[in-house]
Structure 1
Amino acid sequence: MAAATRRKRPAPTGTCSSCPAAAGKKRPRYQFGSIYNYEKLEVLGEGTYGVVVKARDQRTGETVAIKWIRPDDDGAGATDLRAVFREAGCLEACRGHPSIVQMKEVAADEVTGHVFIVMEFVGPSLESRLTRPFSEAETRAIMRQLLRGAEKLHGEGTVHRDIKPDNILVGPGGTLKICDLGMAAPARPAGEPYPEETVAALWYRAPELLRGARTYGAAVDMWALGCVMSELLTGAPLFEDAKTEDDVLHRAHDLEDAMEFTDLAFGDLPELSEAGREVLRGLLSFAPEKRLTAAEALSHRWFDGEDAPLSSALCPRKDRRGFISFI
C-alpha cells in the first residue's frame, strides 16, 4: 500500500456480506491466532489505516503479508476491532476468488492487544510495473482479471472505494489480485448516505465523489477501473497533473464532452480498437447510472479477443546489482 493522507476510518455501521448488516447474518466469530507465530521480515507499505509487513510463518515457513490496523486517534492505543472485523469480513466473503487477495487468519498480540490480518503474500503492486504503455491485448488480460475481482466484490455487496494501481498486486505468471479493503464498505440502499466525506485516491475518484455526493454505489469502483485501464494503455495516470478535486472534476467534464460531442477522446490511443474504446468510454461515463457494471464490461465483445501472456509483461525486473526487487 502506498502512503496516503490519514482519513477518518469508515463508520462501523454495517459490515460486508459475512457480517451483521447482510441478510441478518451474525458477525463471524474469529479464533485469533498469535502474532508471535510470525517472524517480521520487512515493511512492505504504509497506507491510510495501517502498515503491511512481509513475514514468515514460523510453523510452516510460508511467506505472508500481515496488516496492522492503526488504532483510532481516540482509541488509547487499542485496535478498533470493528474495523478489523469489517475488513476481515469483506475478505472472508471473497475467499477463494483468484482476483482478490486471500486472508489466512486474524492474529492478536496478547501483550499489546493489537490485532492483525494475515494474508497471502502475492508480490509487488501493479503501480510498480507501470513503466511503459501496455498493448491492447495485455490491457485486456489485466482488465479481465480486475473486472472479475470487482464483479465478485460487488456481488457480495461490497464497494471497495479505493481501487488504484497501488492496491492491485502482481503475482507469479501475471496473476493480479485486488487488495487493501480497509476503505471497503457494504453497499447502502439507494439514497442512504455514507458517513465519510472523502474516499478514494484523488486521480481515481469518481465525479459523483468529487462533487461531494455521499450517496453512491459500486459505480465509483468502475470509474476507478476505467482510470486504471487508461493508465495501462498510455503509461501515465489519466489525471496525472491534477492537484485538486476541482482540477480532476474539470478534466472529467472535458473528457465527457470529448466522448459525447467529438472524436477527440483518447486521441493519444490511435491504435486502440473501437471495441476497446467502447469499454473505456463505458467505464469512464460521467453519469454513474450510465457507467458499465463489472458484469456488463466482461460481457462486452472486446473480451472476445485473445489476451496476451502477462508473465513477461509483469515479471519482476532486475536492478543494477542483479537482485530481483519486489518492493
Structure 2
Amino acid sequence: MQTDFQGRSRLTNEIVALKDIHLDAEEGTPSTAIREISLMKELRHTNVVRLHDVIHTESKLMLVFEFMELDLKRYMDVHGNRGALDPATVRSFMFQLLKGTAFCHENRVLHRDLKPQNLLINKRGELKLGDFGLARAFGIPVNTFSNEVVTLWYRAPDVLLGSRTYSTSIDVWSAGCIMAEMISGIPIFRGRDNNDQLNQIIRILGTPDENTIKRILSDSPEIQYRPLARMPKVPFQTLYPKVHPLAIDLLEKLLTFDPSQRISADEALRHPYFTTSAAIAQPYSTESQPATPSGYPNSEQQQQPTAQSDRPAVLTQTRAA
C-alpha cells in the first residue's frame, strides 16, 4: 500500500513530496520500491525528479522527493483548451520529456511507464520524469523483459504483440502518445484491452507488413501470431490539420510501428521541430500567465498534519491534496 504526502523539511524549510510505502510483515519491501530507489539514486538530471532521501522504519518506507506542483494530466485539465495545449508549450514539454528520457537511456534505464500522470511539472514550467516503480536497467545484449509494462494507452505495438526483447524504443512510443495527447487534449489510442489497443493503433498507422511482424517477434517464438485486419494509414496531418508540419513529422517518427525504425530520444532532440527555434529549450512558465487558473495547486497550501507516530524527525508531514 502506498500513500502520497506533502511535507516540509525541518532542515531546509523546503516543501518536499513524500511517498509512504507500508511494509508487509511477511513480504517486506516491495520490489517496485527497491527498483525505484536503486535507479533514482543514480539518476541526477534536470528533467528527472530528485530523490532526496529514504527513511526506513519498522512498518514503512518513506521516499522523500523534490516537490512538484502537479502532473501533466492535471496541467492539461487546468491550463489547456479542453485538454489541448498551445504549440509553444507542447514543444517545450516535449523537449524536456525527451531530454529526461534520453538521459535515462544513456544511463541504461528504461522507464517503462511514461504517461501524463508520471510527468511532473513545477511552477517554473519544468517537466520531470517521475515514478520509476516499473523502470529497469538494461544491458547489451538486450535482456528479456516482461511484457506487462506501460499503461495500456501508452504501450508500444511490439509490446502489445507480446515481444519481450524490447528496449528504449518503448519509451519513445509512449512519448509520441503523450505528444499527440498534448496537441489534441485526447489520448490518441484508447483501447479497452490489449487486442483493442492494437486495433486502435493500426486504424491510424495502417497494418504493418508480415515481415515487420515477424521481425518484431523473431526473439519470441512462443508467441502465436494472429494476422491483423488490413487497414489503410490515416495521415497525422489529417488528424491534426492545424499542427505545424515539423511537429507532424516528429510525431510520425516517434509513433513508428516497427521499433527498429523508431527514432531514438537523442535523435528526436535534434529534429528540426526543436532546432529551428532558438527558444525551444526555455521552459514554459505558468507564472507568465495573466492569472492562475482555478484549481492550480499552491505549493504553500497544506492540509492538517497527520498523527505524530512514525513521523521522521527532519520532516513536517501533511497529506497531499
TM-score range, shorter chain: 0.7 to 0.9
Root-mean-square deviation (Å): 2.9
Q: Which residue of 273, 294, 298 maps to 2:244?
A: 273
Are positions 1:152 and 2:103 aligned together? yes
Displacement after TM superposition at 1:269 (Å): 1.3
2:38 match: secondary structure:
helix
Tell me the distance in 2 between the aligned counterparts of 1:280 and 1:190: 28
**1:223 corresponds to 2:197:** no
User: Is this contact kept in 1: 2:181–2:187, CA < 8 A?
Assistant: yes
Deviations 1:123-152 (A, max 9, x none): 111100113312222211110000000011
Instruction: Check conservation: 2:40, 2:51, Cα contact below 8 A.
Output: yes
Letter paired with 2:35: R
> Which amino acid counterpart does residue 89 of structure 1 have in structure 2?
S
**1:238-253 alignment to 2 at 5 Å?**
238-240=188-190, 242-253=191-202
Residues 210, 249 of structure 1: 8 Å contact kept: yes
Shift of 1:87: 1.4
Q: 1:143 aligns with which of 69, 94, 104?
A: 94
Aligned to 1:21: none
- Letter in structure 1 aligned against 2:161: R
SS in 1 for 2:4: strand
Give the direction of change, closer, same or farther, for the CA distance of 1:223–1:319 in structure 2 (3 Å limit).
Answer: closer
CA distance in 2, matches of 1:198, 1:180: 16
What is the CA-CA distance between 1:197 and the residue it aligns to? 4.3
Number of residue pairs the alignment of both structures matches: 270
Whole-angstrom CA distance in 1 between matches of 2:90 and 2:126: 13
Match of 1:101 among 27, 30, 49: 49
Does the 8 A contact of 2:32 with 2:134 survive in 1?
no
- Contact 1:282/1:292 (CA < 8 Å) preserved in 2? yes
Matches within 5 A, 1:1-327: 50-69=2-21, 71=23, 76=26, 78-80=28-30, 83-95=32-44, 97-109=45-57, 111-112=58-59, 114-131=60-77, 132=81, 133-190=84-141, 192-194=143-145, 196-240=146-190, 242-257=191-206, 264-304=235-275, 305=277, 306-307=279-280, 310-312=284-286, 317-319=293-295, 327=321
Instruction: Kindly name which structure, 1 or 2, has the bigger radius of gyration based on alpha carbons.
Output: 2
Q: Indicate conservation of the 8 Å contact 2:35/2:132, yes or no.
A: no
1:84 and 1:117 in contact (8 A); partners too: no
Q: Deviations over 1:280-312 (max 9, x none)?
A: 001000111111111100011110234486223
For normalisation by structure 2, the TM-score amounts to: 0.76
Q: Deviations over 1:152-184 (max 9, x none)?
A: 111110000000000011102211111000110
- 1:266 CA displacement: 4.2
| Structure 2 residue ranges without an equivalent (≥5) | 209-230, 302-319
1:53 alignment partner, SS class: strand
- Mapped to 1, the partners of 2:295 and 2:144 lie a distance apart of 47
Distance 2:288 2:154 in 1: 22
Q: One-letter code of the match for 1:311?
A: S
CA contact (8 A) 2:112 2:134 kept: yes
> Could you tell me how far apart the structure 1 residues matched to 2:207 and 2:274 are?
25
Q: Hey, what's the Cα distance between the residues in 1 that align with 2:129 and 2:135?
A: 12
Post-superposition Cα deviations, 1:258-285, rounded to whole Å, max 9, x if no partner, equal 9996563342311222211111001000
Q: Give the superposition deviation at 1:91.
A: 1.2
After superposition, give the CA deviation of every residue in 1:230-276 in whole Å (9 maximum; x if it has no partner): 00000111123x21111110121222229996563342311222211
**CA 296–314 in structure 1, closer or farther in 2 if over 3 Å, else same:** farther
Q: Which has the higher contact order (CA 8 A, sep 6+)?
A: 2
Q: Distance in 2 between matches of 1:94 and 1:303?
A: 24
- Given that 2:142 and 2:167 are in contact with CA atoms closer than 8 Å, whether structure 1 keeps it comes out as no
In structure 2, how many angstroms separate the alpha carbons of the residues matched to 1:205 and 1:263?
20
The alignment partner of 1:227 has SS state of helix
Matched-pair identity in %? 29
SS at match of 1:317: coil
Change in CA separation of 1:69 and 1:289 when aligned onto 2, cut-off 3 Å: farther
Structure 1 unpaired stretches of 5+: 1-48
